[in-house]
Structure 1
């Protein structure tokens, strides 16, 4: 099986959606880091077919690119959870909006998260998924907000540690806006048109 490497495109900068703020992580850096994560996962899961569980909606772009960077057969399933609503701050209450379709029993599960903030949602998901008896359960997070966690979360795969600012782009949103942007931006609402 050959891996499809992520290559550069000529993305349009934000226009009709307004200017979300300065670029924090460019699409080039995203692509390079995701290819690196794909190589590590390929090496770590050699001879196995991991089940990637994406957390909707924010992780959908990351998961698609990550899957193409893994040189193994992979399967997909998705969960949707809510702890933010349309706000830029977590409510502290996690609820499952869409559950998995597949049985996790005996599977090597890789939970794919867009961003880890306090770790509340991640801890909830880990307990929930571990109760379904997977053979293994690891986490691959694109972003971790530094200084927001109260304990070591034991993350095996991390794309980037970022400041505790709110970010948008590359699947991440505020009020369902900016998900389609190719870079990750440090969100500054006063810059919108």
Structure 2
């Protein structure tokens, strides 16, 4: 599996420092409040846990599964709500935890959904912000790292549901995702 990585962009230590930094900032910004941390499945789960552990304030956790990639390397442009959150967000402070903001379509969809449901405030804490990929006007409030316009995997980010368990974020070799027979991925180390 590590052989499929062209190069590591952010090490395990880099990511831990970013989670600590953002968790501390969120604790300061939400002191005395109890925000809902909305983890975007599946990619943001590791980021959510690490940021949440770095917050020395009360917080609830919720999950949502929204996708525009549908297994590929580029956004399909259509948003699918796979799993909706179960908590009423009316009048609540929401912090969306994302693994990566690329085109911004998925994030815009979620923000509009939360606004329609009456959230008091909505902020975004993303591990990665790929500004070069943006096709809609949307901002990220808390950014772990600005990432180049490359296809990245690891630390929750995937290609066809693989590579999420890498402890770092790296650039996936183009030969891996351009190969016609991607079934061989399962046999690689």
Question: How does the TM-score come out when normalised to structure 2?
Answer: 0.89
| Residue of structure 2 in register with 1:35 after alignment | 20
8 Å Cα contact 2:104-2:137 kept in structure 1: no
Q: Which 5+ residue runs of structure 2 have no aligned equivalent? A: 177-184
Tell whether the 8 Å contact from 1:139 to 1:157 is kept in structure 2 after alignment: yes
2:71 paired residue among 86, 95, 98:
86
Aligned positions of 1:50-89 closer than 5 A: 50-89=35-74
TM-superposed CA distance for 1:151, in Å, is 5.3
More displaced, 46-55 or 149-158? Answer: 149-158
SS in 1 for 2:99: strand
| SS of structure 2 residue aligned to 1:181 | coil
Structure 2 Cα separation of the partners of residues 106 and 172 of structure 1: 31
**Deviations along 1:141-169, whole A, 9 cap, x unmatched?**
11011312245523211111010101000
Aligned partners of 1:178, 1:23: CA distance in 2, in Å?
A: 13
* 8 Å contact from structure 2 (residues 10, 168) kept in 1: yes
Change (3 A) 1:154 1:19: closer
Spell out structure 1 runs of 4+ moving beyond 3 A: none
**How far does the alpha carbon of each residue in 1:45-78 deviate from its partner, in whole angstroms, 9 at most, with x for none?**
0100110001100000000111001111111110
Counterpart CA distance in 2 for 1:126 and 1:151 is 13
Aligned partner (choices 153, 156, 168) of residue 183 of structure 1:
168
With normalisation by structure 1, the TM-score equals 0.87
Whole-angstrom distance in 1 between the partners of 2:37 and 2:64: 11
Distance in 1 (CA, whole Å) between partners of 2:87 and 2:11 is 34
After TM superposition, the structure 1 = structure 2 runs for residues 132-171 of structure 1, keeping only pairs within 5 Å, are 132-150=117-135, 152-171=137-156
State the number of aligned residues: 178
Find out whether 1:21 has 2:21 as its counterpart.
Answer: no
On the 8 A contact 2:71/2:159 being kept in 1, the answer is: yes
Secondary structure of residue in 1 paired with 2:27: helix
Aligned-residue RMSD, C-alpha: 1.5
CA contact (8 A) 1:20 1:189 kept: no
More helix by share: 2
